[in-house]
Amino acid sequence: MVRKGFTFIELVVSIVVIGIAFMSIPILLESSSKSDEFSTMQESVLMAKTKIQNITTYRWDENSLDPVTGKVYILDTSNSDSELQRFDSSVCSSYPFPLNLACIFFWNWFSVFFPNGGLEGQIVGDGRRRMFDSPTYPNISEVNLTNPNDVDDFNGEAVTSLVNQEGTDLDYLNRDNFDLNVTVGYVSDNADYSAQNINFNFADTFKPAGEDSNIKMIEIRVSGVISPFVLRYYSCNIGESDILKRTFF
């Protein structure tokens, strides 16, 4: 009777193969983990970009819209670059008598020819960007995530990707848990706007509370991923021009 069994060489080869297999498991697990981390990073960037694109479809400020004309106007600001401020008689109070009276007379004359604020570079005419006839200021304190109507309505919004976002404005579903936090505020708009070639670097830090400008920054911070990151977008107080249309009969 012949008994079948492993030879010594076959046994050694089997042990080597099993050892290689066990040594490969941690490498495979690490590779899979890195692949998941890379996939999560890509998904978090896509989610943040989708969110910031959604926010930027809204107007600069809720007060920009004139409900009567349906047009978006340039708003007045209190702490912005002086070159972008409305020209009005408020500056006359800083002059001594009788210069203050002469100043008021000048502004009364000026307002006849520039009834829409006299903003530097502004051209009064149909279809042009313009300011409201009377000073009108932005309102960044109002936040409305349920029914937003401007970019700062999203200030303070926090989104966790573990929540099923399918069917929302994000249209997004992810099984990993990372956080997205939105901040909207004013940044400095200082520049030499009288220069022929304007070099402007957008700020990446918000102005102190209570100070406005003509630029709002939308900042999205993403955490809970291997490399946390920040995306920023800038929305400006520029109003809008009417689109000229031809009517055919």
* DSSP conformation letters of 47-89: HHHHHHHHHTTSBS-GGGB-TTT--B-BPP-SSS-GGGS---G
Is 122:130 a contact under the CB 8 Å cutoff? Answer: yes
Residue at 12 is within a domain: no
Q: What is the pLDDT along the chain (249 residues), one digit of tens a residue?
A: 555 555 667 666 777 777 766 666 665 555 555 556 677 788 888 888 989 999 999 999 999 998 888 888 889 888 888 777 776 666 677 778 888 888 878 777 766 665 555 554 455 566 677 888 778 899 888 888 889 999 999 999 988 764 444 555 554 444 457 788 999 999 998 887 777 787 778 889 999 988 999 999 999 999 888 889 999 999 999 888 777 666 676
**166 domain residue, yes or no:** yes
Give me the torsion for CA of 158, 163, 164, 168, rounded to 10°: -20
Domain carrying residue 207: 41-67+139-236
Using alpha carbons only, what angle is made at residue 212 by residues 151 and 155, rounded to the nearest 5 degrees?
Answer: 30
Is 121 part of any domain?
no
Contact criterion met (CB below 8 Å) for 61 and 140: yes
H runs (alpha helix) in 80-183? 99-113
- The number of folded domains in the chain is 1
181, 223 contact by CB (below 8 A): yes
Instruction: List pLDDT tens digits, range 20-56.
Output: 666 666 655 555 555 566 777 888 888 889 899 999 9
- Has residue 146 been placed in a domain? yes
